[in-house]
Each structure stands twice: as C-alpha cells, then as structure tokens.
Structure 1
Amino acid sequence: MEKLLTVVVPSYNVEKYLEETLESFVIPEIMDDLEVLIVNDGSKDRTPEIGAAYEKRYPQTFRLISKENGGHGSTINRGIEEAKGTYFKVVDGDDWVDRGGFTELLHRLKTSGADYVVTDYYKVNDGTKEKKLETFPYLKAHPKCRFEVVVGNTDILMHALVIRTAILKENGIRLDEHCFYVDNEYITFPVPFVETVEYYEIPVYMYRLAQATQSVSMQGFQKHLPDHVKVTMRLVQFAAKYSEMSEENKETSPAQKKKAEYLNNRAAVMVGDQAGIFASFPGGNEEIRRQFLAFDAEVKKTSEEIYRLSGEKSHMLAALRKRNFKGYRFWTWVSRVRAKVRKV
C-alpha cells in the first residue's frame, strides 16, 4: 500500500531509547498514511527485538529491517531504497517526535506538493529535560517559496526536514557509509533538484542532547576527526563541481546560480568548523598541525571560491592563512579557553 510519509529510524544499540521513539508514532488517526522503517544497523543489544515487537503489533505501519553494521549513512541509504511514502523523513533511534506536531505534519502533507517541507523542532537536554524551540523566522515570512529565496537566509538542518521521496530515488542520492556526520550530506546532496520549499510553524522533531561523548560534541569531533574531514571534503568537491557546471552552462538560470551560492556557503561553513576542530587539539600536536595544513591546501586546490568564503566565515582561519600558519599554538590555546568558558 502506498503511504504518505516514510520515516526511517536508524537504530544501533538504542534499546534504552527505541521504545520511546517508536511509541511516539503510534497515533491511530494517521497510521494508515505512515510507514516507519526501523533499520537495525547490526545492533548487539535488544534493538531488533524491540523493533520486531512493534512490527508484530502494528504491521500496517512498522517494518523492521536488519542489516550488517554500515553506519548512519547506510541506514538512510537502505531507507531510501525501501521507502513507499510520497515524503521521507529521518528520525534517529534515540530521538522522537512530538505527537501533536507530527499529526499536524501528516495532515498538511496531504496537500503540500513541495520538494522540501521544513518544520520547527525542539532540542531536549537529556539530563534536565529542558526544551529549547528552534524556529525559522525568515521562512515564517515566506512559508511557500522557491528554493532560491532561502539562499543566504536560512540554514535547514536534518531535524527540521521532510523531503519528497522521488527526489532521493530518481537522482540516486546516496550517503557515505561507515562514517559519522553524513547528515550534512543528506541535507546538501538533494539541493540541485529542489525547486520548492514549504514551512510549517509546528514543532515536530525532538532532538535529544546527550553526553559530552556525543559525536557532535568537541570530544566526539576529535575522536572522529577523519570522518569529519572526509565529509567536509566531499561537500567541498560536490559544491565545486556544481558551481563549475553552472558556470560552463550558458543556459544556467538565476535559480541554479543561487543554488551554487548556497552550496559554496554550506561547504565554507563546514571548512570553518573543521578548522575549529583542528584548533581544539593541543598546539604541540605536530601530527594534527600537519593534517590541518594538508586539509587547507586541499580545499584551496579544489575550490578557490570556497577557500575564500571559509576565510570570511572563520576569523581564526583567515588569521592563520595570512601568517602562513604561524601563531598556530596561540589559536589552539584560544580555542581551548573558549571551550572552557562555554562550559561555565
């Protein structure tokens, strides 16, 4: 049976959270329109048993897919292959959805037709349970618009995003596997094919902020440094290639030029973030300094424009380049001091 929305739930050793995640989708009035794919990524705990229980209880909505471990990107890739819904959303196995907001989302999707649908979301502190609402003020003034209107005004994150499934399937969108941080690929790779955006001012996704060891903490970034470098360079290469094609094509539309601008800026932000990760290591770590220099040279070689933009977005990176990376130890000290201040 065709569905309105497919939700992929990437699940790896999430027995502590998965029942809360799946239970948030048990809303009788919308379950006929909903497909939930629980993609078990080779878990060693009770994750597959919990998923199987929901599949047995609600077979019209839940489906368990068990596979060998391949990382977050592999679960999304498998979800794209299996999806039967008109629209597609990712909800990680340790997060959940607001039942009221999610119900409203399903009702509105029936008449949408947009390529990207954007909603508000909550960041939830796992310890204090404090919630912070994340909204999109610019889209509030432009709730239905062409994608090029968004460029330079709004940064759309995975937690807020619903994508028309055909865009993913028909254009062969695939993410890196055995790799962290591929959510950046997920929100970037469809951009060349997106024409329309619709915004619903309703909170849907509940994003759990966990411990300091989370992959998106600085400790996590340091631990998974090669993965962040890999994803950053893939986005730089992707943006550079799209920009080159746009420049070479005499029939390139203003909308395509705007998309090239958007992709270049997203890649430049990632480069600046990567510089911050390198600088978070102690200044005496010569191997990290060597990797930093090699990374920066590769960015410049791949795209002079993204190299320039990244310097505009990161004052530290601009200062290091200006002095040929002299003063590197000073900037690593500044980076660590700032990190300590943020913790206070």
Structure 2
Amino acid sequence: MDKQELVSVIIPAYNLESYIERSLRSVLEQTYENIEIIVVNDGSKDKTAQVAEKILRNAGKSYRIINQENQGVSVARNIGLSVAQGKYIKFLDGDDTLFPWTIEELVRAIEENNCDIAFGGQNVVNLKGKVLYRYDEMYKYVQGIYEASEILRAFLLRITHISLNSSIFLKEIIDKNLIKFIPGAKYSEDNEFISKYLYYARNVFVFNKAVAKALYRLKSTTKIPSLSAFHNVGAMLRLKRFFEERNVQEIAKIIELECIPDSYVWTIGNLAFNGYPLFDWLRIAKMDKVRRNIISCKIHNKHTKFGKQQNFLINLFRFSPFLVYVLLRSYACILRIMHKYG
C-alpha cells in the first residue's frame, strides 16, 4: 500500500486490567502503522485505565483513553465511534487479540477489491494461546469477493460468521447511515450492527483463515448465567422490524423463520452452559414459546464440528431437555479444565 489510510481501533473495556495489555500489545505490533487507538473504559472498578495508559503512553501511536460511567459495551463502542478519526473502523474486545498482519491484510482486501467490509474467521483460545475452537470448526469461509446481500443471507442463516474482532468497516458508511449499537443490549448487539451494515454495503471480501483470536475467559460477563441472555431474541426482533420497515421482506422472513428460533437455541444453551439453576432452566426450556422455537431451529452448517453439535443437541432437546443441560454443563467443566491446564 503506497498510502496508509488511518485506521481507528476501538476497544471497549470493563474490568480487564489482567487482559488488556495483551490486546493492546497485539495492536501495537501491527505491521500496518497508521492507526489510532481508542480505549473506552466503561466504568471499570479495577486498574484497566491505568494499565492501558502505561502501555500506550510511550508507544508512539496516537491514542485516547475515555473514561465513562458503566453504561455497557454498546454505549462504549458508540462513544468510540463518535471520536474516531479514521477512514476505517476496527473493533477489538479488550481481552481478545489480533495477528500482527490482521489490519494490513483487511485494509488491503478492501482497497484492492473495492469492498466495503472485509472479514475472516476467529479462533477461540485460552490464556496460553492454545486453540480451543478453530474458526473452520464453527463456520464456513470461502475466500473471495461477494455481494453484501449474499453474505447477509449466509450470516443470518449461520452458514458463515462475522465477528467485530475479525472484520473492518468503512466509517463513512457507518456515519452516513447512522448505524449504532443499541444502548443496553448485552447480547447480539454486534450481530445487529453487522447485519445493518451489510444492508448498506455493496461488496464484501471474505478470508478463509482466522484473523483474530477470542479469549475464552471464565469470568467474563457473558459467562454469568442471567436472563439478560434473552437480549439475543430482542436483537433479532429489532432486526426483523428494521428490514420490514425497508420492505426487505425476504430478509425479514429469514429472521422470523431462522434467526429468532436460533436466538432461543443460543439463549437456552448459554444459560445451561453457564450454570443457570437446573430446575429454573427446565421451567423456562419447557415454556411453549421457547420449546417451539428451539425444535423448529434449522442448522445450515452441519458440515462443521460446531454445526453437528448444535444439530445433535436440538434433536436431543426434543427427547430430553434435562440431558441437554447435563451435556452442556459437562462440556463447560471440560473447557474450564482445558483453560486452566491447557
């Protein structure tokens, strides 16, 4: 690349003093040099902001650390967007990391192929860097250039997956179309944002490789069993309205028939995996609306390890929700051991 356009790396952080250094180091080690780093400290009660300041102070990169009262990850990302100066936006969660070449290759893919977004896969790793789940064990990635509408369908049908960590966006599209994260949303706010972005985008570049690493962290907020996990369903209902209002009935129908049932599957699975009390979980799982949505869910990525597991658990749910709970809790315990001793 002859001229390096500015990339704004937005990192929301809440109580991550033990993890944010590794994330920031992965950004500072990027082969792409023209970056600004925006850390939004979302009311942390630990030394997250101080650790970030210590690392960035003499790093030779433009940076900002914004301290706000705890308002959630959506507001933190929106604050980052409001001050970002870059042509490109790169989101990164404060406990996850990039490969040294990630930003350079994502930007090159957009610029050389006239695309509006580029993304790849994301490996799930433990603190020692051991891969617990490889990107292609979860979803399908076929490298190349695609129309955004095609990727939107594949994304909503869960054939492929786009994470904020593993993608890069054009700020112009975000600003022009007023795309924001929904304040207060705790789950699937990222999928909602990405789906709206794809609606306004033209072309997409897909990498068939991991471009980011998500840390499996035992004490993250998403590992706390809470009924706020049903925010997944809320996000899909909002997204359905978004496409209905724009008369994109095909996509609205996909969300109704595919995404909403899948959001119930994910929510119930999340609660079981993270240890929501068994009898309370069974009561929720057996509710007519919940059960109907789960058993109607279709798995479109059955060729992957993750897809096969999902399909098995949905079929088992029809027979015994209790066994589904036991299996998910057992797998959670195995992952804890792998995470600890990996």
Q: TM-score, normalised by structure 2?
A: 0.74
Residue 260 (1) aligns with residue 263 (2): no
Partner of 1:158, secondary structure, is: coil
Code of the residue aligned with 1:274 in structure 2: it is: T
Question: Which residue is 1:165 aligned to?
Answer: 171
Question: Which residue is 2:181 aligned to?
Answer: 175
Count of equivalent residues: 308
Give how far 1:161 is off.
Answer: 2.1
Structure-2 change in CA distance of 1:197 and 1:268 (3 Å): farther
Structure-2 change in CA distance of 1:128 and 1:11 (3 Å): closer
Q: How does 1:132-151 map to 2 (within 5 A)?
A: 132-135=133-136, 137-140=140-143, 143-150=144-151, 151=153
In 2, Cα distance between the equivalents of 1:295 and 1:11? 35
Give how far 1:54 is off.
Answer: 4.3
Question: Which residue is 2:21 aligned to?
Answer: 19
Question: Which residue is 2:283 aligned to?
Answer: 289
Question: Which residue is 2:305 aligned to?
Answer: none
Structure-2 change in CA distance of 1:66 and 1:232 (3 Å): same
In 2, Cα distance between the equivalents of 1:162 and 1:174? 15
Counterpart selection for 1:154 from 160, 179, 192: 160
Counterpart selection for 1:186 from 193, 204, 214: 193
Question: Which residue is 1:303 aligned to?
Answer: none
Question: Which residue is 1:333 aligned to?
Answer: 322
What does the per-residue CA deviation read over 1:8-64, in whole Å, with 9 as the maximum and x for residues that have no partner? 111112121222211222248532x21211111122222212322344324643221
Structure-2 change in CA distance of 1:39 and 1:101 (3 Å): same
Q: How does 1:271-310 map to 2 (within 5 A)?
A: 271-277=264-270, 281=276, 284-285=279-280, 289=283, 293=287, 296=290, 310=296
Code of the residue aligned with 1:139 in structure 2: it is: V
What does the per-residue CA deviation read over 1:287-323, in whole Å, with 9 as the maximum and x for residues that have no partner? x7369738649xx9xxxxxx59944458988999xxx
Question: Which residue is 1:251 aligned to?
Answer: none
The question of whether the paired residues in 1 share the 8 Å contact of 2:43 and 2:70 is answered with yes
Structure-2 change in CA distance of 1:106 and 1:338 (3 Å): same
Code of the residue aligned with 1:207 in structure 2: it is: A
Question: Which residue is 2:54 aligned to?
Answer: 53
In 2, Cα distance between the equivalents of 1:24 and 1:50? 15
Partner of 2:160, secondary structure, is: coil
Partner of 1:64, secondary structure, is: strand
Structure-2 change in CA distance of 1:107 and 1:312 (3 Å): closer
Matched residues, percent identical? 20
Rg (Cα) greater in structure: 1
Q: Report the RMSD for the aligned CA atoms in angstroms.
A: 3.6
Q: How does 1:96-135 map to 2 (within 5 A)?
A: 96-126=97-127, 129-130=130-131, 132-135=133-136
Give how far 1:196 is off.
Answer: 1.6
Structure-2 change in CA distance of 1:243 and 1:19 (3 Å): same
Counterpart selection for 1:208 from 205, 215, 231: 215
Structure-2 change in CA distance of 1:78 and 1:245 (3 Å): same
In 1, Cα distance between the equivalents of 2:250 and 2:235? 20
Q: TM-score, normalised by structure 1?
A: 0.74
The question of whether the paired residues in 2 share the 8 Å contact of 1:4 and 1:109 is answered with no
In 1, Cα distance between the equivalents of 2:295 and 2:171? 32
Question: Which residue is 1:81 aligned to?
Answer: 82
In 1, Cα distance between the equivalents of 2:288 and 2:132? 40
The question of whether the paired residues in 2 share the 8 Å contact of 1:7 and 1:37 is answered with yes
Give how far 1:205 is off.
Answer: 1.2
The question of whether the paired residues in 2 share the 8 Å contact of 1:279 and 1:331 is answered with no
Code of the residue aligned with 1:30 in structure 2: it is: Y
Counterpart selection for 2:263 from 270, 275, 281: 270
In 1, Cα distance between the equivalents of 2:103 and 2:326? 41
The question of whether the paired residues in 1 share the 8 Å contact of 2:262 and 2:297 is answered with no
Structure-2 change in CA distance of 1:331 and 1:188 (3 Å): farther
Partner of 1:149, secondary structure, is: helix
Code of the residue aligned with 1:271 in structure 2: it is: Y
Q: In structure 1, list runs of 5 or more residues that go unmatched.
A: 247-255, 301-306, 321-326
Code of the residue aligned with 2:102 in structure 1: it is: G
Give how far 1:216 is off.
Answer: 4.1
